[in-house]
Amino acid sequence: MNQTIEKTTLSNLVFNEDYCRIVLPFIKPDYFDIREERVVFEEITSFVDKYKKMPTKVSLEIEIENRKDLTEVEHGQVVALIQSLNPDEVDFDWLVDTTEKFCKDKAIYNAVVEGISIIDGKDKKRSPDAIPSILTDALAVSFNNAVGHDYFDDSDKRFEFYHKIEERIPFDLDFFNKITKGGLPTKTLNIALAGTGVGKSLFMCHMAANCLSQGKNVLYITLEMAEERIAERIDANLMNKTSGKLIVKEYPTASAHSNHFRGLIKELAIKRTFKPDIIFIDYLNICASSRFKGAANVNSYSYIKSVAEELRGLAVECNVPIMSATQTTRGGFTSTDIGLEDTSESFGLPATADFMFALISNEEMEELGQILVKQLKNRYNDPTVNKRFVIGIDRSKMLLYDVEMKEQDDLVDNGQEPVFDKTSFGVKFKENKYDDFKV
């Protein structure tokens, strides 16, 4: 029997424990075209799963005797294959790399065959929309033998991690960079809390435009406003100063969840060669949950917490920051100094978010062209430092900007807990007498 990569793989799954531990989780039965090879692989996998050790040739032959799905001829071919398996004197690294290439090639081939079957109508369960996902999964086949962090053996890697400069997407607003230590890290969920009309979408559109001007690829998912309206807002902010790519995708309110977004990202990778550096979702409370099909029989705490957890999981999976927003409660809408407890529908959202802040406005601040920002939760820095600060706002241009430092110095006391200056707004806020905030 000629030596092939399939036979070499089977031999080493029986005789090479290190090889078996690395590659077995990634090999699938349908990678073997010849039936007797596929049967032997199935028996090896079954034995390892059950006994947590590699089988011997004798144990495989006995297991084969118990199978009822083999003809006499097939049984003889399988036994002959088992008897021909022997230890191979080959370079270990070469063998692992060659097996990985074998798995990738087979996965892509099988994906193409599946796609053709779907297009020809032979697969009645899936539509052509499933093809991008099938191809993406096949292209993603890769061996990864990382099984956790060993405290002592991996101490050098840990030291490098401590001194590594974390990749972040910076703001163009000084105080936001101060409180986040330079911007939003990847794999995080970041939430703006505000009331209707204060500027949740404006903030995200401004931030999206800033990311584009840095050359970042931006995916903006909207469940509230039309795609063209979002693009119009970003146009008003950008004024053609951009080198990144922007994709705006609209979904009907409460109809899309993290799996839809995951499918969109895969489809964009294939059709547009587009990989986002940051994702905006406008906004979290009107997303659906992939775990709860409809919110009728689920309390709002569990439902919104589920949505938040799914989006944060998506951020980790895609290695990007996700920026979204949420509404305040009715009480928070008129509060002078809101907190996390004023998050609408579910306290599970702030429990899941990495960074959360409130945008606060009232008539006097609107006249000044300013918005008050209050930190609510911050995993990147001490949230008591620069807890409150103001930023400028130009609604006609959908633009946010830093106020002059002299003006900011009046509002923030040495970078610590802020006190407001002698203006009527500051006095009333400090005395907790201002009741007409929009937050």
CATH number, domain with residue 30: 1.10.860.10
The CATH code of the domain that includes 246 is 3.40.50.300
pTM score over 0.85: no
Q: Residue 343 — very low, low, confident or very high, per pLDDT cuts 50/70/90?
A: confident
Residue 147 forms part of a structural domain = no
- Report the range out of 125-134, 374-383, 410-419 with the highest average pLDDT: 374-383
pLDDT value of position 336: 54
Residues 219 and 293 in one domain: yes
Residue 161 forms part of a structural domain = no
Which pairs count as long-range contacts for 2-7, CB under 8 Å and 24+ apart, including other chains?
5/98, 5/99, 5/102, 6/31, 6/32, 6/33, 6/34, 6/37, 6/102, 7/37, 7/81, 7/84, 7/85
pLDDT value of position 437: 42
Q: Residue 410 — very low, low, confident or very high, per pLDDT cuts 50/70/90?
A: low
Cβ atoms of 318 and 266 within 8 Å: the answer is no
**What are 197-249's pLDDT values in tens digits?**
888 889 999 999 999 989 999 999 998 888 888 888 888 877 656 678 999 99
pLDDT value of position 99: 94
Tokens 């806020």 locate to 429
Residue 173 forms part of a structural domain = yes
pLDDT value of position 436: 47
The Cα 278–Cα 272 span in angstroms is 16
**What are 152-189's pLDDT values in tens digits?**
777 787 777 676 677 899 999 999 999 999 999 999 99
On average, the pLDDT of the chain sits at 84
Q: Which of 344, 347, 312 is nearest to 331 (CA)?
A: 344
Amino acid letter, 94: W
Residues 174 and 231 in one domain: yes
How are beta strands 321-326 and 278-282 bridged, if at all?
parallel
Whether the per-residue pLDDT at 434 is higher than 70: the answer is no
Range of the domain at 246: 168-430
**What are 27-43's pLDDT values in tens digits?**
999 999 999 999 999 99
Q: Residue 332 — very low, low, confident or very high, per pLDDT cuts 50/70/90?
A: low
> DSSP states of 239-266 as a string?
TT---S-EEEEE--TT---HHHHHHHHH
20: left (phi over 0), alpha (psi -120 to 50) or beta: alpha
* Count of the separate structural domains present in the chain: 2
Residue 247 forms part of a structural domain = yes
Residue 148 forms part of a structural domain = no
pLDDT value of position 2: 58
Residue 269 forms part of a structural domain = yes
Cβ atoms of 411 and 389 within 8 Å: the answer is yes
**What are 116-160's pLDDT values in tens digits?**
999 988 888 888 878 887 887 887 787 765 556 677 777 787 777
Residues 350 and 264 in one domain: yes
